[in-house]
Structure formats: structure tokens, C-alpha cells
Amino acid sequence: MFVSQYGTDGFGHQLFGMMSLIACIDISYVSFPHNGKFEHLSKEESVMCKFFINNFLNNIFGDFENISNKKKIIMPRRKNNLCLKSFQFEKDIIYVFDNCWSTDNIGYYIKNFAFDKYITNSLNNLLTTNTNFDTNKCNVVVHIRGGDGKDRISGSLKNDYLILLNNIIKKMSFQHKNIIFHIHSNSPINNMFISENIISKYNSDIIQSFSEMIFADVLIAGDSSLSLVAPYFNKNKLVIVPNKTTCFTGNDRNAHPLLYYNNCITFNNFINGNININDYL
């Protein structure tokens, strides 16, 4: 049973979908070069993201396969989320999906694949040079979904969500005096997030945002596949996710990191529970 990935969404969505198909058991992933097409990105960002994905695939599989003589079927949009237990494969056909988030326990398989092992060589150089951290502090990266997702329940225009997020920042600042917050968003960052320990990074390029999400001591994720895939690189000490998201609900819920990481909790867990950031550092 052969699969590959073709996505038409943003970088985080495509990468997360690709990782799910690679990690899925009992199928073989066929690696071929990415076409460099992403939604929401500038031309320069698309070039960087294409470089990331192609080098990531090379680190996992080696050289790309020659598939010019193999039959490929690109699954239509409403059928491109693979559920392994119900899909009927035919021999010697490469089925090209967007993701397999509907497959039972897919987040478990993604976690156990240990994708962090493949952030090596040029990829590691790319990510670490784009991470602007003070290593003497606890670095907390916050992702606020803006752009086309600004009106989501956990988006940049939702005041209740922003107030809850600000309360988390205040609680962490009280618990840990040597802490700094890096807030990433592709929409203007609300004025309530102004403090000497907050760095606002409005419209920073996507590789810098993604790099800092991966390497953050603490990641406060947004309603975005870009920040919800970051925990699967197994480097964050604590991950806090919104109480409700548009991403990874319904048939996609099997990919949500909240189900698979003991160090992943919700906003309400942190605000209302007896949780101290220092216990995770």
C-alpha cells in the first residue's frame, strides 16, 4: 500500500499532513519533491518552506524516488483525509492524500516516529539561526492565529480568548521572574500585550516563527496547525493549547497533541489548576 502527500493549504497544514502519512503504520510513503506551493506565504517564505520540506524528506528517506512510471491518484478534496481502517487500496497505485488525521491514534504514531531525529545538518542550521532566544531566560513562545483565522474562536479578534491568554502570561510572570514571552502573529498584536518581558513579533517570517515554536521552553499554541505540529518535534517542556480550536476537531481530532503528551494542557488547566511552570522546567 503506497501513499504520498499533496496539500493545497499553508506550510504547517502540509507539513503536519505529510508527517501523519509518513508515520502511519502498515503503509509505505513514497517521497518526491515538493512543488513549493503554499497558501498565505510570500514568495520568499515559500522558497524557504520548500527547502525545509525537501531537506526534511531527504533526511528521512534519502534521495527522492523516480515515480514517473508509476500510477498516481490524487484524492479529491473531500476524500483526501485517509482513514486507514476503511480505505480500500489497490496494488501498485500511489494514493496521494492531504493527511491521515482520521486514522485512529495517528498522533501516537507521529509522536513515536520521533521526527526530531531528522532536524539535522542544513535543517538544524536553518532553524537554530532563526531562533532569537536569550538562553539565560525561560523562553515562552505564544502563537496568536491571525490572518484568515482571526475570527476563529481562538483568533486574534476574540477578546475573551485574548484576556484568557493575557491571564496565563501574568500567572507565568508571577511564578517565574526570569521569563520572556515571544508573541508571534500575522495580525497586529493587541495592545494588552505590552510589558518589559514581552517581545511582539508581528509578521515575522514563517521559518522564524516555526523555529521558535519548536525550540521554546514553553509553547502557548494558537488555533493553527503550524503551532500544533511543533510539539511533535519533542523539544517543548510544556505546551498549552486553547480550550477550543477549529483545527483538529471532528474527524481530525486524532492528531491533536493534547491526547498524547503529558506535558500538554489547556488554557483552563493552567489558569484553574494547581499548575506551576517551574515544575516543568
pLDDT per position as a tens digit, 79-114:
999 999 999 999 889 999 999 999 999 999 999 999
Query: What is the tens place of the pLDDT at every residue in 36-48?
Result: 999 988 999 999 9
CB-based contacts of 229, cutoff 8 Å, min separation 6: 12, 15, 16, 19
Helical ranges in 176-256 per DSSP H: 206-215, 225-229
CA 152, chain centre distance (Å): 17
Q: How confident is the model at residue 258 (pLDDT cuts 50, 70, 90)?
A: very high
Strands of the sheet containing 138-144, edge to edge, are 198-202, 179-185, 138-144, 218-220, 238-241, 264-266
Distance separating alpha carbons of residues 228 and 236, to the nearest angstrom? 12
| Cell numbers at 150, concatenated | 482571526
Contacts with 127 (C-beta within 8 Å, 6 or more apart), sequence order: 119, 207, 210, 211, 214, 215
Go through the chain and tell me how many residues it has. 281
Q: For residue 13, name the pLDDT band (cuts at 50, 70, 90).
A: very high
